[in-house]
């Protein structure tokens, strides 16, 4: 039987065409790396994207080649997302917070032909340029007046696109053609590449835009960087639904974020918990309130109860968790407000908000034991969380490593519970969970409980070897006012099981974070590996 539907192909460039024509007056507002605020419309963006597409072609960019960006969230980065992928090349976003050796590895592995770089990151390129094997051009994302002095032969973005025509016909391609490339942060070993297709990107954008539509949100401010998992797909979702986009550039501190949120009246702000800790600290000190924001979408790490409560009670902002990872484009689950939640007493609702949410349509989840046998979805059993779906990776780019896939399911590296109603809650990363005397302790739960103590700014729990219990939890904290170990342990005592209580509390000036802003526990585990060896607790 022949179906009767058209065989049109999903294409990323169609998104900017769509927004440029149907939401032509909606704005993209950016905090510029050079200083000041830049403001233009989707129509302007489409015009400049086409100029850039012509410039790229003139520079020799070809279909299937990788073109890299080392850049903040700004309008020029948006233009690159669409022009590079639109001409049939691959937008390869690089996280500038990685170590220089990792960036060198990534550029060479992807065989990047051109690197587009923000002013802030030119020094990184200067350091590694001798070791880059494939790059023909470096382009600085600025105008002539701001071009830096450099020993590198640098091209200027504005000069490149200025003489070009603003008409361009996007070439056609199959929807399974590659569109964008992101590398995981590579906590151990080299970073691994995930190559998204036009199809996976568009399907992900359709599914993820439910977050906007379910809550009638129109003005998004993604703090989550465009150099990490495509800013969780927001540049694609925003054009798909014609939302105003507010881009913070390099201004990630509390005051800069607050000013932009307030001036542009953002109603959805998106980022990792550490960014919101800074914002909330600023707001508290300055006595300011968020008046326009309705929702904050938080992912990358679990948001603590204290943060959920502060957003709600001080700013009338509903915090919803999203969960995912580079290999999942990234969205796997989202914890949207439901009608049941609207009727719950606040404290009960907060408990629900602490969970990571239900799978978005298209993503399937299951939990398995060490022998890959499926475990019940009863909200209590926990095991390795496996996922599959049309925007989940089935391999790493140019890699033979298949160890993360079992029978067509991707092993997320997380340990979780699943409830009968589909609700997922992360227990821990499998490598961070603490195995004490045959029982498991969730480092995430302990950290988030410790954050409720009024002196604690940031908390990190690691498992360290113990002569009797195999491993025991150690709590490291940064504080913003004086306190004692006893005060923190007493605070925890009635909130967690007795055998979960950390064996020691260590006060530090700073905690280490990885390139995506997450606590980096590997070195800490090494540093403190002997801390409890002599104790006989
Ligand atoms: P990487 O680049 O190392 O893959 P990602 O930024 O993609 O890192 O992070 C993925 C991991 O972040 C997930 O496996 C999970 O452990 C953690 N994570 C993401 N979202 C959440 C969340 N809402 N709550 C708790 N942990 C989360």
Q: Which of 334, 353, 372 is the last residue of a domain?
A: 353
Query: Of all protein residues, whose CA lies closest to atom 26 belonging to ligand 1?
Result: 301
Residues catalogued as catalytic: 184, 327, 435, 440
Q: Are residues 346 and 479 in the same domain?
A: no
Atom 10 of ligand 1: nearest residue by CA position: 325
421 assigned to some structural domain: no
- Which of 426, 427, 429, 517 has the most ligand 1 atoms within 8 A of CB, as the residue to mutate? 426
- Same domain? 331 vs 469: no
Q: Pinpoint the alpha helices (H) of 209-338.
A: 210-214, 229-232, 234-241, 254-264, 273-286, 305-315
- pLDDT score for 467: 86
| pLDDT above 60: residue 364 | yes
Check residue 270 and give its pLDDT: 97
Burial class (CB in 10 A: 0-12, 13-18, 19+), 348: exposed
Domain C-terminal end among 353, 374, 400: 353
What's the pLDDT score for residue 534?
A: 60
Assigned domain for 75 exists: yes
CATH number at residue 484: 3.30.300.30
Q: Is 326 within the bounds of a domain?
A: yes
Strand ranges across the sheet with 27-31: 37-41, 27-31, 244-247, 219-222, 268-271, 295-298, 318-324, 331-334, 358-359
Mutational test site, ligand 1, from 300, 328, 411, max ligand atoms within 8 Å of CB: 300
> Which pLDDT tens digit goes with each residue over 143-190?
999 999 999 999 999 999 999 999 999 999 999 999 999 999 766 678
Question: Token pair 């007056």 is at which residue?
Answer: 25
- Residue 535's pLDDT is 53
Concatenating the DSSP letter of every residue in 433-490 gives -EEETTEEE-HHHHHHHHTTSTTEEEEEEEEEEETTTEEEEEEEEEESS---HHHHHH
Instruction: Look at the chain and report how many structural domains it folds into.
Output: 2
**CA of 516, closest atom in ligand 1:** 6
DSSP 281: H
Residue 479 pLDDT greater than 80, yes or no: yes
Rg (CA), the chain: 23
505-535, pLDDT tens digit by residue?
999 999 998 888 788 898 899 999 999 876 5
Most informative mutation of 196, 270, 301 for ligand 1 (most atoms within 8 A of CB): 301
Q: Is residue 5 part of a domain?
A: no
Contact partners, residue 153, CB within 8 Å, separation at least 6: 138
Q: Which of helix, strand or coil describes residue 297?
A: strand
What does DSSP assign to residue 312?
A: H
Asked whether the predicted pLDDT for residue 303 surpasses 60, the reply is yes
What pLDDT, on the 0 to 100 scale, is given for residue 216? 80
The C-alpha atoms of residue 217 and residue 208 are separated, in whole angstroms, by 13
For the chain, the average pLDDT equals 95
Mean pLDDT of 337-362: 96
What pLDDT sits at residue 173?
Answer: 93
- For 89, residues 6+ apart whose C-beta sits below 8 A from its C-beta are 56, 61, 62, 63, 64, 65, 66, 67, 113
Average pLDDT over residues 372-385: 96
Share of the chain above pLDDT 70, in %: 99
Atom of ligand 1 nearest to the CA of 298: 23
Q: What is the pLDDT at residue 428?
A: 92
Residue 513's domain comprises 434-527
- Please answer whether residues 359 and 323 qualify as being in contact, where contact means their C-beta atoms are separated by less than 8 angstroms: no
Contacts of 238 (CB under 8 A, 6+ apart): 19, 220, 244, 245
Boundary (domain end) residue, out of 319, 353, 387: 353
In the chain, what percentage of residues exceed pLDDT 90? 90
> How far, in Å, from the CA of 386 to the mean position of ligand 1?
14
- Which protein residue has the closest C-alpha to ligand 1 atom 12? 300
The DSSP bridge pattern shows strands 434-436 and 439-441 to be antiparallel
Query: Distance between CA 270 and CA 275 in Å, rounded?
Result: 10
Please report the pLDDT score of residue 112 as a whole number: 98
Q: Would you state the pLDDT for residue 210?
A: 83
Which atom in ligand 1 lies closest to the alpha carbon of residue 322?
23
**In this structure, what CATH number is given to the domain that contains residue 192?**
3.40.50.12780
What's the CA gap between 423 and 357, in Å, rounded? 5
Environment class of 345 (CB within 10 Å of its CB; exposed 0-12, middle 13-18, buried 19+): exposed
Q: By mean pLDDT, which of 70-79, 258-267, 409-418, 464-473 is the weakest?
A: 464-473
**Residue 92 forms part of a structural domain:** yes
What is the Cα–Cα distance from 109 to 397, expressed in whole angstroms?
Answer: 9
Q: Alpha-carbon distance 295 to 278, whole Å?
A: 17
Query: Cα of 469 to ligand 1 centre, how many Å?
Result: 28
Q: How confident is the model at residue 392 (pLDDT cuts 50, 70, 90)?
A: very high
For residue 537, name the pLDDT band (cuts at 50, 70, 90): very low
Contact residues of ligand 1, CB 6 A cut-off: 184-185, 229, 299-302, 321, 323, 325-326, 330, 356, 412-414, 426, 429, 516
């Amino acid at each position: 039987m022949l179906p009767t539907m058209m065989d049109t192909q999903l294409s990323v460039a169609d998104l900017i065409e769509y927004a440029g024509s149907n939401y032509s007056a909606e704005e993209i507002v950016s905090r510029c790396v050079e200083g000041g605020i830049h403001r233009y419309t989707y129509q302007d963006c489409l015009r400049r994207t086409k100029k850039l597409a012509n410039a790229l072609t003139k520079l020799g960019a070809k279909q299937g080649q990788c073109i890299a960006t080392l850049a903040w969230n700004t309008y020029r980065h948006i233009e690159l997302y669409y022009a590079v992928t639109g001409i049939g090349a691959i937008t390869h976003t690089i996280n500038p917070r990685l170590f220089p050796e990792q960036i060198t590895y990534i550029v060479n592995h992807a065989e990047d032909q051109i690197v587009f770089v923000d002013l802030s990151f030119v020094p990184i390129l200067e350091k590694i340029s001798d070791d880059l094997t494939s790059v023909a051009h470096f382009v600085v994302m600025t105008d002539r007046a701001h071009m830096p002095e450099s020993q590198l032969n640098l091209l200027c973005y504005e000069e490149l696109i200025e003489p070009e025509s603003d008409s361009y016909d996007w070439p056609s391609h199959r929807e399974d053609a590659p569109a964008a490339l992101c590398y995981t942060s590579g906590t151990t070993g080299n970073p691994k590449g995930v190559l998204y297709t036009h199809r996976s990107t568009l399907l992900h954008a359709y599914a993820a835009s439910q977050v906007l539509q379910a809550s009638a949100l129109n003005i998004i401010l993604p703090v989550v960087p465009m150099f990490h998992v495509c800013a969780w797909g927001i540049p694609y979702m925003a054009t798909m639904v014609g939302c105003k986009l507010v881009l913070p550039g390099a201004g990630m501190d509390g005051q800069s974020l607050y000013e932009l949120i307030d001036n542009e009246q953002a109603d959805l702000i998106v980022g990792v918990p550490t960014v919101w800790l800074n914002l909330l600290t600023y707001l508290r000190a300055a006595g300011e309130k968020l008046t326009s924001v309705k929702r904050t979408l938080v992912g990358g790490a679990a948001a603590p109860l204290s943060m959920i409560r502060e957003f709600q009670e001080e700013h009338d902002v509903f915090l919803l968790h999203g969960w995912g990872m580079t290999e999942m484009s990234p969205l796997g689950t989202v914890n949207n407000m439901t009608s049941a939640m609207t009727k719950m007493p606040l404290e009960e609702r907060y408990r629900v908000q602490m969970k990571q949410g239900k799978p978005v349509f298209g993503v399937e989840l299951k939990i398995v034991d060490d022998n890959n046998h499926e475990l019940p979805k009863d909200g209590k059993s926990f095991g390795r969380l496996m996922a599959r779906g049309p925007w989940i990776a089935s391999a790493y780019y140019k890699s033979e490593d298949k160890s993360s896939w079992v029978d067509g399911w991707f092993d997320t590296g997380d340990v979780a519970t699943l409830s009968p109603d589909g609700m997922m809650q992360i227990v821990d990363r499998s490598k961070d969970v603490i195995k004490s005397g045959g029982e498991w302790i969730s480092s995430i739960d302990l950290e988030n409980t410790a954050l409720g103590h009024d002196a604690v700014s940031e908390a990190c729990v690691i498992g360290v070897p113990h002569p009797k219990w195999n491993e025991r939890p150690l709590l490291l904290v940064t504080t913003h006012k004086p306190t004692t170990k006893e005060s923190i342990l007493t605070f925890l005592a009635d909130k967690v099981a007795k055998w979960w209580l950390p064996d020691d509390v260590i006060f530090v000036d700073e905690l280490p974070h990885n390139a995506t802003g997450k606590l980096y526990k590997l070195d800490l585990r090494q540093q403190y590996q002997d801390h409890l060896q002599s104790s006989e607790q």
